[in-house]
Amino acid sequence: MLATEHIEPWKVELHSHTMWSKDCVVKFETLIDLCQKRGIDRIAITDHNTAQGALSLQKIAPDLVIVGEEIMTNQGELLGYFMSESIPAGLSPDETIARLRAQGAVISVSHPFDRLRKGAWDVDELIKIIDQVDAIEIFNARCLYKLDNTKSVDFAREYRLIGTVGSDAHSRPEYGLATMSMRPFEGASDFLASLHGAQGSAILHYSSPVVHVHSKTAKWSRKLGIRQRLWAGG
């Protein structure tokens, strides 16, 4: 564990995407530059169903990147932190969690009650695995209905779970919109302890609804093979 006396807390982004996600075209160099400009000390790269982008970016910026992944199970999405390899989509929550634990990862549940997300959770299904996860995302900047985030807060409080927040950034304006102020940490267990101590210490801003249009544009540009520079990209 790091000695943290008289050390300023880190500004930490816990949910973000890169060009390794099919609905994002932000390049590594752009993301690094944005983090420097916006004072982001650590950023979890949580691309959809792959940790390869995060692993690649960590080699370039080891003091910035937390290797993560947003994984689509057959019931809903999970977030893994401090991962060493990718976990495929489509597995059961139990199998996904087992694979994350085998890597020593910290586990959160992304935007569990966002009514517009494919990866949202049915409450009964989430309750089944709630004692197997470390945290739940209580604020996601991309939620169009604020009540969906409120439902996550209430659920976390009821089940005494650590709350995480994230920008869920897919485009340049989004990085750093929702961050946590955390004491410096090393490794998964120290990260989890720091996360526990950071409850109630966060910056929360909603993204513009327009960002969803840019995600769809990024997705279609890939399907059509278009390589033009997009507003969301670098």
pLDDT at 207 (0 to 100): 86
Q: Is residue 93 part of a domain?
A: yes
Helix count and strand count (H, E) for the chain: 7, 9
Residues 6+ apart with CB under 8 A from 191: 66, 81, 82, 106, 182, 185
pLDDT per residue, tens digit, the chain (234 aa), is: 454 456 899 999 999 999 999 999 999 999 999 999 999 999 999 999 999 999 999 999 999 999 999 999 999 999 999 999 999 999 999 999 999 999 999 999 999 999 999 999 999 999 999 999 999 999 999 999 999 999 999 999 999 999 999 999 999 999 999 999 999 999 999 999 999 998 878 889 998 887 655 565 556 566 656 544 444 444
* Residue 72: predicted pLDDT: 98
**pLDDT score for 221:** 62
Closest CA to 79 of 151, 201, 162, 196: 162
- pLDDT at site 6: 64
Residue 234 lies in a domain: no
Residues constituting the chain:
234
- 3 domain residue, yes or no: no
In a domain, 2, yes or no: no
The reply to whether 66 falls in a domain is yes
For residue 219, what pLDDT is reported?
A: 61
Structure tokens at 45: 């790269």
Q: Is residue 233 part of a domain?
A: no
Q: What's the number of domains the chain is made of?
A: 1
Contacts of 234 (CB under 8 A, 6+ apart): 25, 26, 27, 29, 30, 31, 33, 172
Decide: 84 and 67 in contact? Cβ < 8 Å. yes
Structural domain contains residue 231: no
Instruction: Please give the pLDDT value at position 214.
Output: 55
Task: Please report, in angstroms and rounded to a whole number, the separation of the first and last CA atoms in the chain.
Answer: 36
Query: Is the Cβ–Cβ distance between 217 and 155 less than 8 Å?
Result: no
Q: Which domain holds residue 162?
A: 10-224
> Per the domain annotation, does 217 fall within a domain?
yes
SS3 content of the chain, % helix, strand, coil (to 5): 35, 20, 45
CATH number of domain containing 124: 3.20.20.140
Q: Distance of CA 14 to CAs 45, 70, 182, 202, Å?
A: 8, 11, 11, 11
* CA 215 to the chain's CA centroid: 16
Short-list 190, 133, 131, 142, CA closest to 165? 142
CA–CA gap between residue 40 and residue 165 (Å, rounded):
14
Count other Cβ atoms within 10 Å, centred on residue 179: 28
Dihedral sign from CA coordinates of 152, 179, 118, 133:
negative
